[in-house]
Amino acid sequence: MMPETQTRNAPEKAVIIRTLGLEKSYGMGDATTYALRGIATTIFRSEFIAVMGPSGSGKSTFFNMIGALDAPTRGRILIDEVDVAQLSAVELAFLRCQKIGYIFQSYNLIRYMTALENVTVPMTFAGVVPEEARRRGLELLALVGLKDRWGHRPIEMSGGQQQRVAIARSMSNNPKILLADEPTANLDFKTGQDILEILQRINRERGVTIVCSTHDHRLLNVCDRIMWIRDGLVERVESRENIRIKLGNMGGET
Amino acid sequence: MKAIIAQSQVALGPARGIQLALSGMSYRMFRSAVTIAILALATAFLVHMLVYGLLAGQTERNAYAELSRLRGFGEQITRLARADSAPRIVSTLALGQPARLAEYQRWAKRDVGEFARGRAVAERLARVRQSLTELPPTAQAVLIGDLTPDELLESLREPATLARFNKKLADLQLGAAAVNQPELVQLVTLEMGSLQQLTTAIATGHQEAVRGFSLKFPNRTAEVVAAEPPADWGISLSSLGFSRDGNLAELADFARNARDERTISELLLEADVRSSVARELNLLPKDVDLQTTLAYALRAEHAEWLAGVLAQLNAPKHLNGPRIQAIAEVFKHRARLEEILGDRVPSADGGFLGLPERLRWLVLLSFLVCVVGVANAMLMSVTERFTEIATIKCLGAMDGFVMMLFVFEAAIQGVIGGVLGLVLGLLLAALRGAAEYGALFFSIGEIGGQLLLGMLFSFVVGVLLAALAAVGPSWVAARLSPMEAMRVE
């Protein structure tokens, strides 16, 4: 994964996710409701992009699409220049297992597994032998600062710790993309800060592309770009340098 | 790499799947316990039905066989006691059995030489009979006509008929080999008469002997004959159908018991005995009967007491305590057999593994309920794990793996439920059988194989039920969209 850090500062950024005229509608005829109305966007390799938007804006739908969890009604999603719609079930499972790491708002750790077992589940699916999985799992737990708690179950950990385990799990097969769905929404101010720092570190040190949906304005301090979604359309995309100036208006915006 | 993930999920799948299913179950102990309990109950129900049905059928068949044997003895004794038994015995006698020679000899009051000659004649008679049947058909038509060989030989004892027969024989020119004419003539003119005399003598002697015995023991011929068969009486008995030698000892035993039971019931009619038994048993004298008395005499000290009471009334000497106790036990055994069967005749074929027709619907219905119950429990298990399932799908699990996870869970529950149900069902069947039939129930004998088959069948059905019930919920789980993982409760 390290070579990707070198491309970060290259003038021509490599594209990792591209969507073309992405539409998603539910129902038929007059009752059709649109969640997405044609999103065309590009996400570059190794960037940290925040997706913001009010509830019902289609943010979650967009997220499911680029995570290859849902199929669009119209339009295309290209991940690493591969059309997701063309993938077979096995290839989709491969994509979810190896290329994308998911971080959820409610952590979604498996209740009856220890931290280490949780982290190594995706490695099992990837065919990593148990000893290797254990070694890498402990490494990842060390990365999120929970090496000592490897034998604890989710119920024995705080929300912040659970989310850190979830981050370690999302990293278990060295994915190129991390999709974080409101990772700090269930956490208090301080722990949310810790989570964001870990995400930023992963982005900076490992060159992992991070797409993070959020309402958390602190995220604006760590991300490279912000994508605003409203009524199923991309309202605007701004880079962080620009947003800093407008920070005063943020409260009214979201 | 893509091939690896598909392969690894198959290769690592089962072990990891079982592990996941087990740890998942341990975490949802209560729900698993409910599923297992439902399966165990259904399996137990089936095991109980099958095992109990098989053993009950076997017990009734055993009881029926034994009771038929005992009733058969009773009938034989009755037959022997009938007034016309002596002539019947004689009429069924047959000659030419060396083993019985001594007995015939005693009845006929003849010497050994006479019997030897009788046998020689009988053999010659057989030879002539044989040669007559071997004649060519045309010769048979001329010589014998419509008669049987025996009727022909009988008719040839008339000199005129014999002469005509000889003439026909000469006309046919069959040659000396076909019919030995001098032997035939000698046989019909001299020897057949003496053989008949001998047979008559034996029959008369036997008849007299039987009659004499009947006179000596009026009204009880059969019991006495059967209970203490004198060496001479073997043929008399076997001619009445007691041809199986092994049965004689048993029959004698039966007859002895019948005689002693009768003696006791006769003695119970005596006022003295009746009143003392009534006092001892706390009954009214009119309620004292053989059954209550013998039931009381099942215990050794009570039997001794009864023997003492009977001894005051010139009861036969052999009616001591142990003997009375033994009679009481036999009586109880027979009463138990009668009670089990009543007037029913158990069918030899009990249907599938002894499961009666009317119970089959009940079993089927109970399985339906079980499947619904287990499917419901599994569906709940799937529903409350939507997030977990969706999450592992996000982490790269394929539909097949998720399906396998739930099928394994169901299978593990099925096996545990099956084993528990097997134990429970056997226990129930044993308890019910013991209550219904007592110790008779546990004579497994030749149906052991069927029992094992029944148990195996129940177990397999239990596991299959779990698998069947798991199909729907597992399918739901496998088809679940990974998007569910993003949902926030």
- Tens of pLDDT along A187-211? 998 999 999 999 999 999 999 999 9
* A215 domain-assigned: yes
Residues 90-109, chain A, touching B (beta carbon < 8 A) = 90-91, 93-94, 96-98, 102, 104-106, 108
Contact assessment for residue B397 and residue B388, using Cβ atoms and an 8 Å cutoff: no
Q: Do A125 and B9 touch (CB under 8 A)?
A: yes
Q: Which of A93, A112, A169 sits opposite B23 (nearest CB)?
A: A112
Provide the pLDDT for residue A8. Answer: 47
Could you give the dihedral angle defined by the CA atoms of residues A222, A226, A231 and A235, in that order, rounded to the nearest 10 degrees? 160
What pLDDT does B27 receive? 73
Nearest CA of chain A to the CA of B13: how many Å?
Answer: 8
Is A226 contained in some domain? yes
A74 falls within a domain: no
What pLDDT is attached to residue A48? 93
Mean pLDDT value across chain A? 86
Mutate to test the interface with A, among B486, B487, B488 (most CBs of A within 10 A): B486
Has residue B225 got a pLDDT over 60? no
Question: Which whole-number Å values give the CA distances from B8 to A128, A137, B3, B285, in the listed order?
Answer: 8, 18, 8, 89
Task: Assess whether pLDDT exceeds 50 at residue A10.
Answer: no
Least confident of A3-7, A79-83, B11-15, B454-458: A3-7
Highest mean pLDDT among B236-245, B261-270, B441-450, B468-477: B468-477
Q: Is there a domain that residue A105 lies in?
A: yes
Cβ of B388 within 8 Å of Cβ of A108? The answer is yes
**By percentage, how much of chain B surpasses pLDDT 70?**
74
- As a whole number of angstroms, the distance between CA B90 and CA B208 comes to 10
Q: Are A97 and B6 in contact (CB under 8 A)?
A: no
pLDDT at site B216 = 55
Mean pLDDT of B351-380: 79
Q: Which residues from A are below 8 Å from B7, CB to CB?
A: 127
Q: How confident is the model at residue B134 (pLDDT cuts 50, 70, 90)?
A: confident
Domain count of the fold of chain A: 1
Chain A residues touching residue B388 (CB < 8 angstroms): 108, 110-111
Q: Which residues of A touch B396 (CB under 8 A)?
A: 93-94, 96-98, 122, 125-126, 173
d(CA B108, CA B93): 13
Instruction: For residue A5, tell me if it sits in a domain.
Output: no
Higher pLDDT, B323 or A150: A150
Residue of A nearest to B482 (CA): A69
- For residue A9, being part of any structural domain is answered with no
**A93, part of any domain:** yes
- How far is it, in rounded angstroms, from Cα B135 to Cα B434? 69
CA distance linking residue B385 with residue B405, whole number of Å = 12
- Which pLDDT does position B87 carry in this prediction? 47
CA distance B459 to chain A (A): 30
Model's pTM, two decimal places? 0.65
Q: Is residue A172 part of a domain?
A: yes
Nearest residue on chain A to B24, alpha-carbon basis: A112
Quote the mean pLDDT of chain B.
Answer: 75
Q: Which residue has the higher pLDDT, B358 or B90?
A: B358
Confidence at residue A176, expressed as pLDDT on a 0 to 100 scale: 93
The size of the A-B interface in CB pairs under 8 A is 96
Q: Which residue range forms the structural domain that includes residue A246?
A: 45-69+88-253
**Model pLDDT for residues B136-175, shown as the tens digit of each residue:** 777 777 777 777 777 777 777 778 888 888 887 777 776 6
Identify residues of B whose CB sits under 8 angstroms from chain A CBs: 1-2, 4-9, 11-12, 16, 23-24, 26-27, 387-388, 391-399, 401, 481-483, 485-486, 488-489
pLDDT of residue A7: 44
CA distances from A68 to A82, A100, A167, A195, B2 (A): 11, 9, 19, 24, 16
For position A103, what pLDDT does the model report? Answer: 93
| pLDDT, tens digit, 9 for 90 and up, residues A127-160 | 888 899 999 999 999 999 999 999 999 999 999 9
pLDDT at position B424: 93
Q: Which amino acid is at B468?
A: L
Going by C-beta distance under 8 Å and a sequence separation of 6 or more, which residues neighbour residue A201? Answer: none
CB A25 within 8 A of CB A35: yes
Torsion of CA A164, A165, A169, A170, to 10 degrees: -20
How many helices (H) and strands (E) would you count in chain B? 22, 0
Cβ separation of A121 and B11 shorter than 8 Å?
no
* CA angle centred on B7, ends B3 and B10, rounded to 5°: 155
- Pairwise CA distance, residues B309 & B281, whole Å: 13
Q: Can you tell me the distance from the alpha carbon of A189 to that of B455, in angstroms, rounded to the nearest whole number?
A: 63
Cα atoms in the Cβ-side hemisphere of radius 13 Å centred on B88: 12
Going by pLDDT thresholds of 50, 70 and 90, the confidence category of residue B8 is low
Q: Is the pLDDT of residue A163 over 90?
A: yes
Helices (H), A46-114: 59-66, 89-94
Pick among A124, A165, A176, A187 to test the B interface (most B CBs inside 10 A): A124
Residue B426: pLDDT over 70: yes
Q: Is the ipTM of this complex over 0.90?
A: no
- pLDDT value, residue B42: 86
Q: Is the Cβ pair B395, A125 closer than 8 Å?
A: yes
Q: Is A180 on the interface with B (CB under 8 A)?
A: no
- DSSP per-residue codes, B408-442: HHHHHHHHHHHHHHHHHHHHHHHHHHHHHHGGGGG
A90: closest CA of chain B, how far (Å)? 6
Instruction: Check whether B214 has a pLDDT greater than 50.
Output: yes
For the ranges A96-110, B67-81, B117-131, B261-275, the maximum mean pLDDT occurs at: A96-110
HSE (CB half, 13 Å, CA atoms) of B321?
8
Of B277, B472, B483, nearest to B376 by C-alpha is: B472
- Digit-coded pLDDT (tens) for A42-52: 999 999 999 99
Residue A172 CA to residue A170 CA, distance in Å, equals 6
Shortest Cα distance from B373 to chain A (angstroms)? 25
- CATH of residue A190: 3.40.50.300
> Whose CA is closest to A49, among A171, A174, A220, A192?
A220
DSSP state of A57: S
- Report the amino acid identity of residue A153: R
Q: A2: which DSSP letter?
A: T
Place of tokens 């089959």: B360
* Burial (CB count within 10 angstroms: exposed 0-12, middle 13-18, buried 19+), residue B365: exposed
